[in-house]
Amino acid sequence: MKKNILLVLCSALLFVSCDKDDNNSGDNSKEILNPALYTFERDGASTVSFDGQTTRILMAGETTNAFKAFDTATEASIKAMFAHEKDAVDFSLTELNSSDKSIESKVAASSDFFAANTTESAIIKGEFAAYIEGQINEVFPNKDVVASAGVAGQIADGTSTRYINAQGLEYNQMFAKSLLGALMVDQILNNYLSTSVLDAENNRSNNDNDVLEAGKTYTSMEHKWDEAYGYIYGTSANAANPNLTIGSDDKFLNEYTGRVNDDSDFATIAADIFEAFKLGRAAIVAKNYNVRDEQAEIIRENISKVIAVRGIYYLQQAKTKIENDQITGSFHALSEAYGFIYSLRFTRKPGTTSPYFSKQEVDGLLSQLLGDGANGLWDLKATTIDSISAAIAAKFDFTVAQAASVE
């Protein structure tokens, strides 16, 4: 088999030279040819593949939309979308129905966090099922009822109509934003970028010797890295240069990476994530695993930051509404904040095997959010929002004010 060749479909190239001062296999002194785009080829054929991730992002979008399909959705139909089985007609797209992929199978399913923690994984999957059950059994029957403290129903929010449970929470927002962490973030940070996955079995020796997966153009290690890439860029208009449209290509991690990047306090975060993905993939081609792992840590830090920043942002947006006596106007942002706080469980502190927030810490923050009175968000105080926001920011290198700003 021919030596690994990296072809670049653009003229701008970067070269990275690394010292040979480690015990890893592979030539860690070799220069890394780092392309300007996420474009990698072998013998004239692309080696980049993340179809499964694209499929799950599309499935997640349709499943979230079904939460407001009042005339057609049932508990069974939404749960079937969540736990899709091959050839079941659960979605609008034929390619999704024919897929053997599902959302549920990859929720809280990372190698590092949940392979040996199946009890918590099952609890988390059950919480997503509970969001579905709550929407069908609490919200659907009251969709035409004006909501009030302790009563599920609808509320007016500007030109939009929102549908909330008795505590003021929107189950569709809780589902979508919690899924962002439990699926996308967990699979990227704690699964596909993990050495337990990248270096599993014979992956490293196979990559060293250009042994490809059967019938494929890529090594297993190359593919695992690409699968991580797919959970943020899998529906990008230009997957080789995704930051051209970052924030516009899905309603999950891509969108909120873009939204955080729009804040001048975090204006390089999208570039930092993309460059680390690109250089890490190039390092795999060059068989330089130190650089690969360094880039994985950069991705962990910055994607974790996206979750934390956006959680605080929504909390502070809601605080402003509450202080202006727009109580019900705060519920949409608070429902989104709930999901981002939930997603902190799946973040990853660089250089560790731990999340920024444990399950117990996340549960504590969510209890605070709903704990100012019997009616949850209806009773929430601005001081409690500030307390939660400060607790999140304290684990990172930014302030509440920076995360709360819109420019």
**pLDDT 10s digits, 271-289:** 999 999 999 999 999 999 9
Q: Exposure of 86 by Cβ count < 10 A (0-12 exposed, 13-18 middle, 19+ buried)? A: exposed
Q: How many domains does the chain have?
A: 1
Answer whether residue 208 is part of any domain: yes
The answer as to whether 379 is a domain residue is: no
pLDDT value, residue 40: 98
Which residues, in sequence order, are CB contacts of 235 under 8 Å at separation 6+?
54, 57, 58, 249, 250, 254
Cα 46 from chain centroid?
25
Is 350 part of a structural domain of the chain?
A: no
Q: Which of 12-21, 37-46, 166-175, 393-402 has the lowest mean pLDDT?
A: 12-21
Asked if residue 197 is part of any domain, the answer here is yes
Q: Does some domain include residue 349?
A: no
Residues 6+ apart with CB under 8 A from 61: 250, 251, 252
- pTM for this entry: 0.93
Instruction: Indicate whether 124 belongs to any domain.
Output: yes
CA distance 153 to 170: 10
Is residue 406 one of the residues assigned to a domain?
A: no
> What 3-state class would DSSP assign to 260?
helix
Contact 350, 272 (CB under 8 A): no
**pLDDT band (50, 70, 90) for residue 63:** very high
Average pLDDT over residues 288-306: 98
For residue 273, give its domain range. 1-298
Q: Using CA atoms, how far apart are residues 256 and 250, in angstroms rounded to an integer?
A: 9
Specify if 235 maps to a domain: yes
Greater pLDDT, 7 or 242: 242
DSSP string spanning 209-228? Answer: TTPPPTTSSS-HHHHHHHHH
Distances (CA, A) of 41 to 4, 73, 138: 9, 44, 52
358 CA to centre of own chain: 17
